[in-house]
Amino acid sequence: MPTVAKIIIAVCFTALTLLLILSCAAQGEVPDVSSGDTVQTEQPSASDTGSQQITAPETEPVSEPETEPETDAPDRDEIMELLSEMTLEEKIGQLFLVRCDAENAIQDVTDYHLGGFVLFAADFEGRSPEEAVAAVASYQSAAKIPLLIAVDEEGGTVVRVSKYKQYRAQPFKSPAERYREGGADAVLADIDEKSALLRSLGINCNLAPVCDVSADPASYIYPRTLGLDASATADVIAAMTERYTQNGMGCVLKHFPGYGGNSDTHEGISVDTREFEAFEKGDLLPFKAGIAAGAGAVMVSHNIVKCIDPDYPSSLSPKVHSLLRDTLGFDGVIITDALDMGAIKEFSARHGGSPAVLAILAGSDIICSSDFKQTYAEVTAAVADGTIPASRIDESAERVLRWKSSLGLIG
């Protein structure tokens, strides 16, 4: 046979062999060329691989069923929708928790879109419970977004409602006295009674409990504390916070980062010179416990705490707010102590600037103030000129709305 013919035959045989291999491989069979037979390859089972068998997809496309819209949207979505519908002025108003001027309260709510009122003894003196209920209801009726109605009903030296016999036969005792009488159970029993009384009047937030720790009976804050060491205070604060939450009553941990033995900031500037270790091992413990127990708000004091920020009162200090947010992990509402107290007036007189603007820039969400109209104007102007970013207002307004939602005021 000529050489050329042999080559052609060899090429054809090789091509046929390759075609046979490819055809069998596609069917899961590999030919044994040497014998001319085929060998079925064994596929590993699901039990061998430790995985489930994957089924082939449908050959015909399956149309996706139409999904029904959720009837109960997450709270955050509801809040964000509400926030998107609010004007800038309405958002700024939510950042103000102000002393109630009974004669002008309804007009103030309408004009300034206020976040809420703080009621004082004057709002209850000479009023029957029925009259107090009617007054609070009228404030709420004027509000587009339900108001926080807050009061300082700590017990002991700070009572606003139980001070008057038409509301309670005797004023609430201080938490320290109740603790001495019956331990934490007695303190919690008082919270139950306070919550019931306040709720019956339309009040939805008690500006308590006091988390401060002081070992000096002569110090300004001592009568308002539990009179216990930091660890024991932390345990009771956790229980108190949980009880307020169970009762549906807003509560506020105060006065961050801890008053210690410092002077009264109602009167003027107070400077805390302790080392940070004292706060780590003492003052911060009750706040950590209250935050872990679910507190919705924390009030920041006006003390200048040198180991944290030697230049600004805590309520105006970004460093103090960072400690609360970033170190302690608090994501709720931060409230200033009243910005018309002596410490802030003195600081502002020395350094100038708007305390409310500084507080918001530092990270506060709610401004407490009596002279709120000027303060509101200062904040509005600061947003207009870019000193306060609009996003900063949105951030705080959202927190306030979420807190209100958790108290059942929204939704």
Q: Is 333 helix (H, G, I), strand (E, B) or coil?
A: strand
Tokens of 13: 């045989």
Residue 375 CB burial class (10 angstroms; 0-12, 13-18, ≥19): buried
Q: Which of 192, 266, 340, 394 is catalytic?
A: 266
Please say if 337 is a catalytic residue.
yes
Q: Name 252's bridge partners.
A: 297
Q: Quick check: 188 and 155 in contact, CB under 8 A?
A: no
Active site residue 266: yes
Q: Which residues contact 302 (CB under 8 A, 6 or more apart)?
A: 265, 269, 270, 313, 314, 315, 337, 341, 343, 344, 347
Is the CB of residue 227 less than 8 Å from the CB of residue 177?
no
Cα–Cα–Cα angle for 295, 301, 303, nearest 5°?
150
Please state whether the peptide bond connecting residue 255 to the residue before it is cis, i.e. omega within 30 degrees of 0: yes
Handedness of CA 378, 384, 385, 390 (dihedral sign): positive
Active-site annotation holder among 108, 152, 190, 337? 337
Active site residues: 266, 337
